[in-house]
A and B are shown apart, each in its own frame.
Chain A
Amino acid sequence: MTALAALVRRDIKIALRVGGGALIGVLFFLTVVVLMPFAIGPDIPLLARLGPAILWLGALLASLLTLDRLFMADHEDGSLDLILMSRTPLELACAAKALAHWLAAGLPLIVATPVLGLLLNLDAAATSAVALTLLAGTPALTFTGMIGAALAVTLHRGGLLLAVLVLPLSIPVLIFGVAASQAAITGPLSFGTPFSILCALSLVSFVVGPFAAAASLRHGLD
């Protein structure tokens, strides 16, 4: 257990350093959200209606951007081989790395959401709904994204391939995340149903992600 805690702590520290990439995810999130009104036009009611979707898309793309760091840096300096050879099960090590990645890269996105909601003219209730769905859904994005990151780690220019592999798997999370947000805002449909499916997707990804990523790493690196 201490080995895993150490892994989590190490990953968070590395990610929060200057070149670590966690906070640049928030910057990218901000950029995407700022770009949307330029493309859509200053139509305030339209932006408010699209608000949850824009925030979700920004969070999805920002987490995709930081995903290849999950294994790439360790692969380059050799620590990934050490992790593979250690006594802790590789599945738990992958889960620990994904947890660290979410804490360092995913949580800041959620914290940034209320601020960005202001830019899109969302009221407090709408923004908190979106933040809540992001809280439930970004772990799913990280843990399923980890599968693509593990598959692409041994490729030198694997960045785009990673995105192509991960995006189809992220589509259900996006659909239910936005559906839950919309249900909370405009309301005749219940919030509970899409939200519980979103939580279920995250829970399933906590299991499937580490196993699939560990299998990819084992087969890709031997």
Chain B
Amino acid sequence: MTLIDLANPTRFLSLTARVLPWLAGATAILLAIGLYQSAMAPDDYQQGATVKIMFIHVPNAWLSMFVWGVMSIAALGTLVWRHPLADVAAKAAAPIGAAFTFLALVTGSLWGRPMWGTYWEWDARLTSVLVLFLMYLGLIALWRAVEDPSRAARAAAVLTLVGAINIPIIKFSVDWWNTLHQGASVLRIGGPTMDRAFLIPLLVMAVAFSLLFITLHLAAMRNEILRRRVRSLQMLQARAFSSESLPRTGSGVGTGSREGNASKQQSGAA
């Protein structure tokens, strides 16, 4: 099964049906392990037990950026290679990414209150993640504003690629500016500076949330493929109904075999 086989929506659907239960199971197991490890993790000498918020805040933050990256690759797939499933992948990912960004902002805010004394601060990291959230919402609005799915896909692809500039800004904002948000302690040159007692649960939760995203994304892609099929069948149905009410001429009313079949079936049943 090569990558090109996945380009066929029907094969993708059958593959998804087989793979989803396993993915869901793996996600559940890893989430359970991660939550257990987070509960068992020691208290930080400075933050006390509130360090446990880190185990859900950081994975959501990483994923909010990762999902925009996935959408950017899908956008390239749409614009450059015209891969058939790229549109579907991009549209399905947007609400999930928006949800992760929202959770990153909210858990961060709830962590900030005990740690820094404030729910919100207009520093570079928080502001750029808020801008990312606004861009997710704008992208979803754009998807819904254009009626034709493939035109919507191309417009959304351009917007996704333009917005991708925000991702490195978010990542490096804590280095470039004097921010309230702490600097990178995991993904940095020189290796992580976090203690293993915290690093392990964090990494487990990160993998668990990534699996969660993959599971949700595949399921949402499946829904989107089905939605498009519903749409094309509905258009066929509308054409069949409208051609029934028109007087039939010898040369045929419609556009071809598809409609011929449908109207033949209708008149055959009548």
Interface residues, chain A, with chain B CB atoms under 8 Å away: 147, 151-152, 154-155, 158, 161, 164-165, 167-169, 171, 175, 208, 212, 215-216, 219-220
Give A204 Cβ to nearest chain B Cβ, in Å.
9
Q: Are B131 and A168 in contact (CB under 8 A)?
A: yes
Q: Which residues of A contact B239 (CB under 8 A)?
A: none
Interface residues, chain B, with chain A CB atoms under 8 Å away: 79, 127, 131, 134-135, 137-138, 141-142, 145-146, 151, 154-155, 157-159, 161-163
Q: Which residues of A contact B127 (CB under 8 A)?
A: 171, 175
B146 (CB) vs chain A CBs: closest residue:
A155
Q: Are B131 and A219 in contact (CB under 8 A)?
A: no
Q: Which residues of B contact A169 (CB under 8 A)?
A: 162-163
Q: Are A151 and B135 in contact (CB under 8 A)?
A: no
Q: Are B138 and A219 in contact (CB under 8 A)?
A: no
24 A-B pairs with CB atoms under 8 Å apart are: A147-B162, A151-B155, A152-B145, A155-B145, A158-B145, A161-B141, A161-B142, A164-B134, A164-B137, A164-B138, A164-B141, A165-B138, A167-B134, A169-B162, A169-B163, A171-B127, A171-B131, A212-B162, A216-B154, A216-B155, A219-B79, A219-B151, A219-B154, A219-B157
A147 (CB) vs chain B CBs: closest residue:
B162
B79, B131, B151, B159: which contacts A165 (Cβ < 8 A)? B159
Give A113 Cβ to nearest chain B Cβ, in Å.
25
Q: How far is the CA of A171 from the CA of B162 in the complex (A)?
A: 14
Give A56 Cβ to nearest chain B Cβ, in Å.
16
Known: A151-B159, A168-B138, A219-B79. A161 touches B145 (CB 8 A): yes
Q: Are A216 and B151 in contact (CB under 8 A)?
A: no
